[in-house]
A and B are shown apart, each in its own frame.
Chain A
Amino acid sequence: MSTSTGTDRSTTSNEPSTMLDPLVPRAPAQGAQEPSRLHVDAATIGYDKRIVSERLSVAIPDQSFTVIVGPNACGKSTLLRGLSRLLKPSEGHVILDGADISSYKTKEVARRVGLLPQTAIAPDGITVADLVARGRYPYQGMLRQWTKTDEEAVLRAMEAAAVTDLSGQLVDELSGGQRQRVWVAMALAQHTDILLLDEPTTFLDITHQVELMELFTDLNHVGHTLVAVLHDLNHAARFGTHLIAMKDGAVVAEGAPSEIVTAELVEEVFGLRCLVVPDPVAGTPHVVPLGRDRDRP
């Protein structure tokens, strides 16, 4: 179990990634030795005057399905916004492929890192295919808005997210689960190696949650690096390959779920007394809250 305060890890994750050429967006990561194409280096991130995370350092392992967990307002979404450069750190850096993320052109970042924000809005009267096609924006120019590559990418994205059948339907008329898959398809059409997901399973019923998590696992297996903010600890432990637990803007623990998810950690991070048992299906750690009235079982 590797518990760290998240402030003194910058040296380990920083130096090797400079070997990557930032001009080659699809550099195969497995050949290189560096652990991470995307990491935060002693960054202070926050809104206006309110600082959420101070001198935070955290690395997203390549090819991982990283899940960020923590109580409300612990800085999970803020970290995600920093990673996608929606928020610029007031100090420190967010490093993408060896260079500061703010040194890239905006569209260049969008070709490497995709984000599915919580606040995305579907315009009135838009069809599924049209919405997914908007994910191609980073590749388009004034007169090049619908190349064969675009069309192919949209088709593949819709297939991967299993929304091909919905293609011509209005987004307004879909169910919550379908709609969320359409947004995922849009993010996939963006064709980035790294995909950030902000609470992607919110509003979904349990079936659709699991479906979506399995879709993410599939994407992870074909080589995408995924970073998701999740509220459900058990889903995080079961589907994630790398877990980052945050509290008060700092990283409390990170590592493989089976190594770091313990009753002590859950109590430290969430203030919830619980029992951690093996998941009867997957064998991953499963958190069972003890509740108010019970002592130890």
Chain B
Amino acid sequence: MTLQTADLGVPGAFTAPGTRRSIGLFVALAALVALLMLSLIIGSKMMPPAVVWDALFHPSGDFDHFAIRDFRLPRTIVGLVVGMALGVSGALIQALTRNPLAGPGILGVNAGASFAVTVAIGLLGVRDVRGYMWFAFAGALVVTIMVLLLGSTRRGQSPVVMVLAGVCVGAVLGGAGSALQLINPDAFDQMRSWGAGSILGRPLDVVWPILPFFAGALVLAFAVSGPLNAMALGDELAVAQGVSLVRTRILAIIALTLLAGGATAIAGPIGFVGLMVPHVARWIVGPDQRWIFAYSMLLAPSLLLASDILGRIVMHPSEIPVGIVTAFVGAPVLILLVRRRKVSGL
């Protein structure tokens, strides 16, 4: 019996020994830092690293410095923050639902945000990111709470029912939003660019107010990683280990809503990152949630920044929104990995 339970603890995944996981984490961190620097260097005009350095620490009125500080630095920071949020929220939702199709948007976050923004643009005439950002955030929160209530019984939440509830609410709002857009061409026009997802043109003062939410959510995420690990072995086993299922699920949902809702509020619905990165992280580090969170936190912004940089170069001088590029960068990697390895399910 003991032999078998030991087998089950690692459901099909190859577990890297602790040192390898740590080294891998360091490599991922180094890659992220490199991408952060590249994001400041590469663009319609290449900036030598020295200029970037001066712009950051000894700014002058130079036009290049201005371009770096007012355009490239904000989008880099937005990419970093949004990427981290998406990665961790994706890992949370997959741990929670154990459904490989579940991304952070599944509980209605994206649908709620999109609908709220559609209403803000279409009916209320809001025109500015600073304005509809809060609509997006509020929409995401309200809808997720609705889904949570719909998927709950007194006995707790069933992940399957919750996911279905998310799909339902998302569908209803999505349909209503589409109807609104088809009637109102102006809103349709605005929404197709917001809906693509971009980290461009978001001033940093859009990011600051969201940061405390992110920080709190990250703390929550790591706090529930232990209980989530126990729940991966089955609800009954988790209860036996003293895990409160209801509390864990609610805390995890609060964390993921804040993260995904905040990210969507800042950048619009960027779909693929939160879905793909946790899968890849799990294939690298095995089923331990703490490691999955840590890796997701580094890999997701890397993917986002790499995509953003690529989006600046490929169609030069015009740019492709990052939400579009991420899938083209990430999907081939995902497909290659899933074919290569004997990968684990959830």
Report if A145 contacts B (CB, 8 A): no
Interface size class of B (residues with CB under 8 A): under 10
Interface string of A221-236 (1 = CB under 8 A from B): 0000000000110000
CA of A132 to CA of B23 in the docked complex: distance in angstroms? 51
A16 shortest CB reach to chain B, Å: 38
Q: Is B318 an interface residue (CB 8 A)?
A: no
A72 interface contact, C-beta 8 A: yes
Per DSSP, are chain A's interface residues mostly helix, strand or loop, or mixed? loop
When C-beta atoms are compared, the residue in chain A nearest to B236 turns out to be: A176
Q: How far is the CB of B158 from chain A (nearest CB, A)?
A: 11
Question: Would you give the shortest CB distance from B344 to chain A, in whole angstroms?
Answer: 14
Mask of B1-44 contacts with A, CB within 8 angstroms, 1/0: 10110010000000000000000000000000000000000000
Measured in the bound complex, the distance between the Cα atoms of B2 and A202 in whole Å is 10
Q: Is A199 an interface residue (CB 8 A)?
A: yes
In the bound complex, residues from chain A placing their C-beta under 8 Å from that of B4 are 199, 202-203, 231
B4 nearest in chain A by CB position: A202
Q: How far is the CA of A232 from the CA of B1 in the complex (A)?
A: 8
Residues of B within 8 A of A231 (CB): 1, 3-4
Q: What CA separation (Å) do A231 and B5 show in the bound complex?
A: 12
Number of interface residues of A (CB under 8 A): 6
Q: Mark A188-228, 1 if CB is under 8 A from B, else 0.
A: 00000000000100110000000000000000000000000
How many whole Å from A20's CB to the nearest CB in chain B? Answer: 37
Please name all residues of chain A whose beta carbon is closer than 8 Å to the beta carbon of B1 when the two chains form the complex: 202, 231-232
Residues of B within 8 A of A203 (CB): 4
* Chain B residues with CB under 8 A of A72: 3, 7
Task: Report the nearest B residue to A71, measured CB to CB.
Answer: B3
- The distance in angstroms between the C-alpha atoms of A202 and B7, with both chains bound, is 12
Alpha-carbon separation in the docked complex, A199 to B5 (Å): 13
How many Å lie between the Cα of A202 and that of B3 in the bound state? 10
Shortest distance between the CB of A82 and any CB in chain B (Å): 19
Name the residue of chain B whose CB is nearest to the CB of A73. Answer: B7
Q: How far is the CB of A217 from chain B (nearest CB, A)?
A: 20
Question: Which residues of B sit under 8 angstroms from A202, Cβ to Cβ?
Answer: 1, 4
- Interchain CA distance A159-B1 in the complex, whole Å: 28
A192→B1 CA distance, assembly (Å): 29
> How far is it, in angstroms, between the C-alpha of A231 and the C-alpha of B2 when the chains are bound?
10
CA distance A258 to B3 in the complex (A): 25
A74 to chain B, nearest CB (A): 12
Residues of B near A199 (CB, < 8 A) are 4
Q: Identify the closest chain B residue to A232 (Cβ).
A: B1
Residues of A within 8 A of B3 (CB): 72, 231
Distance in angstroms from B164 CB to nearest chain A CB is: 12
B240 to chain A, nearest CB (A): 13
Report the bound CA distance from A274 to B3 in whole Å: 17
Tell me which residues from 190 to 206 in chain B have a Cβ below 8 Å from any Cβ of chain A: none
Query: Complex Cα distance A180/B7, Å?
Result: 19
Q: Which residue on B lies nearest to A48, using beta carbons?
A: B342
Query: Within the assembled complex, what's the spacing in Å between the Cα atoms of A203 and B234?
Result: 12
B160 vs chain A, min Cβ distance (A):
8
Q: In the complex, A72 Cα to B9 Cα: how many Å?
A: 14
Interface string of A247-258 (1 = CB under 8 A from B): 000000000000
- A140 CB, nearest partner CB in chain B, Å: 30
Shortest distance in angstroms between A89's beta carbon and chain B's nearest beta carbon? 20
**In the assembly, what is the distance between CA of A240 and CA of B137, in Å?**
64
Q: Which residues of B contact A232 (CB under 8 A)?
A: 1
A289 → B minimal CB distance (Å): 12
Question: B162: shortest Cβ distance to chain A, in Å?
Answer: 15
Would you give the shortest CB distance from A116 to chain B, in whole angstroms? Answer: 16
* Complex Cα–Cα for A232 and B3 (A): 10
What's the least CB distance linking B14 to chain A, in Å? 13
A199 to B7, CA, bound (A): 13
Cα distance, A199 to B1, chains bound together (Å): 10
- Name which residue of chain A comes closest to B6, CB basis: A72
A128 to B3, CA, bound (A): 30
Bound-state CA distance A202–B1 (Å) is: 7
State the Cβ distance, A283 to closest chain B Cβ, in Å.
24
- Taking CB as reference atom, which chain B residue is nearest A205? B1
Minimal beta-carbon separation of A129 from chain B (angstroms): 24
Nearest B-chain residue to A202, judged by Cβ: B4
A231 to B7, CA, bound (A): 12
Query: In the complex, what's the smallest C-beta–C-beta distance from B46 to chain A, in angstroms?
Result: 46
A264 to B7, CA, bound (A): 26
Complex CA distance for A72 and B7, rounded to whole angstroms = 9
**Nearest opposing residue in chain A for B7, CB measure:** A72
> Max chain A CB contacts within 10 Å: which of B1, B3, B7?
B1
A51 to B8 Cα, complex, angstroms? 23
Digitize A42-86: 1 where CB-to-B-CB distance is under 8 Å, 0 elsewhere: 000000000000000000000000000000100000000000000
Using CB atoms and an 8 Å cutoff, list the residues of chain B in contact with chain A: 1, 3-4, 7
Known: A231-B3, A231-B4. 8 other contacts (CB 8 A): A72-B3, A72-B7, A199-B4, A202-B1, A202-B4, A203-B4, A231-B1, A232-B1
Which residues on A are within 8 Å of B, measured CB to CB? 72, 199, 202-203, 231-232
A-B contact pairs, 10 of them (CB 8 A): A72-B3, A72-B7, A199-B4, A202-B1, A202-B4, A203-B4, A231-B1, A231-B3, A231-B4, A232-B1
Top 5 nearest A-B pairs (CB, nearest first) are A202-B4, A231-B3, A231-B4, A72-B3, A72-B7
